[in-house]
Amino acid sequence: MATSVEFYKVTFKKEESQNSKTLKDYFASIVSKSFGFKDQYDRDFYDFNLIQAKYYGGSFRKIRTDEIIETGKVGAAAKKLSYTKGEGKLETNHLVFFPKYSVIGYIRNVHANHYKRLESCLSEAFCRDVIVSPLITAGSLNQILQNRTVVAIDFSVPISSAQATNNGQLWSDKAMKAVDDSGGDILKMQIGLDLRKSERGIISKASENISNLLSFNPTRAVVKTQDIDGKYDLIDLIADKIVYKDETYSYTKDALQPSAIYDKIVTAYLGKLDEIEQVC
């Protein structure tokens, strides 16, 4: 099974004229420190270190204290694993921050941390709000949609309970939760505007919701846009997302040491550097 390394741009939500600290400074500030976070799960940043003397890497973990794990074998009764108070099943992501372009290489399995959780926990650790957004090969989503209006959205997204319970307030989050509540496991979404009307509506927070849906590995992601001259274009966003696929190992099955995982993320970054440089 291949492992995908996703790439995200990190920016400050607001500039602070009296604050000269860079993102590199903020990532350096969490090296060798532990940061815990609490929402519906316990989460933490663990074992952040300097990687190859110029990058910053660590793990972002979800601790599922509510999940009972059973082990067993054919024909035998199951045994329940017991935890001490505060312990639970770990669901881990590894990431590396590359200061030159303020980009994160992120390995995420569907059961662990959505990138918006990473955004909120980085903001809390830094005591400063940051934005984490997926990189698209043709430019960031905002660049793709610059001077354009989204008039139609066509997405197909596999739904897991992990992502459907992220408590997000975007309409795309609520749509995914509705599918999960129904017992379904695929969200097929088509949203459009009546282009025959001279005074038509608008798709609310189109860029934010498209960015959110892209983060859940959709099997289809097409938007129709209209530019300032009235021209319509169909844009296939899956084809444009910057993702590196490593066919040599499985993140969820191969028990690699963290140092080996960081090396693989660095290899992925260097493999996609030409595309990253075009958009950063």
Please tell me the pTM assigned to this model.
0.72
Residues 6+ apart with CB under 8 A from 239: 137
Residues 6+ apart with CB under 8 A from 230: none
Q: How many domains is the chain partitioned into structurally?
A: 2
- Same domain? For 199 and 71 the reply is no
- Same domain? For 79 and 38 the reply is yes
- Same domain? For 120 and 246 the reply is yes
- Same domain? For 70 and 10 the reply is yes
- Same domain? For 116 and 252 the reply is yes
- Which residues on neighbouring strands pair with residue 80, listed in sequence order? 70
What is the tens place of the pLDDT at every residue in 198-248?
A: 788 899 999 889 988 887 778 788 999 999 898 998 888 877 788 999 888
- Same domain? For 127 and 21 the reply is yes
- Same domain? For 7 and 117 the reply is yes
Count Cβ atoms below 10 Å from residue 34 Cβ, excluding itself: 10
Span 9-24, mean pLDDT?
A: 90
End-to-end CA distance of the chain: 30
Strand-pair category, 232-236 with 220-227: antiparallel
pLDDT of residue 54: 96
> By residue range, what is the domain housing residue 38?
3-135+242-279
Span 51-77, mean pLDDT?
A: 89
Ranges of H-type helices in the chain: 23-29, 115-126, 141-144, 161-164, 171-182, 206-214, 258-271, 273-279
What is the tens place of the pLDDT at every residue in 237-273?
A: 877 788 999 888 888 778 889 999 999 999 999 999 9
Is pLDDT at 165 greater than 70 in this prediction? no
- Same domain? For 23 and 126 the reply is yes
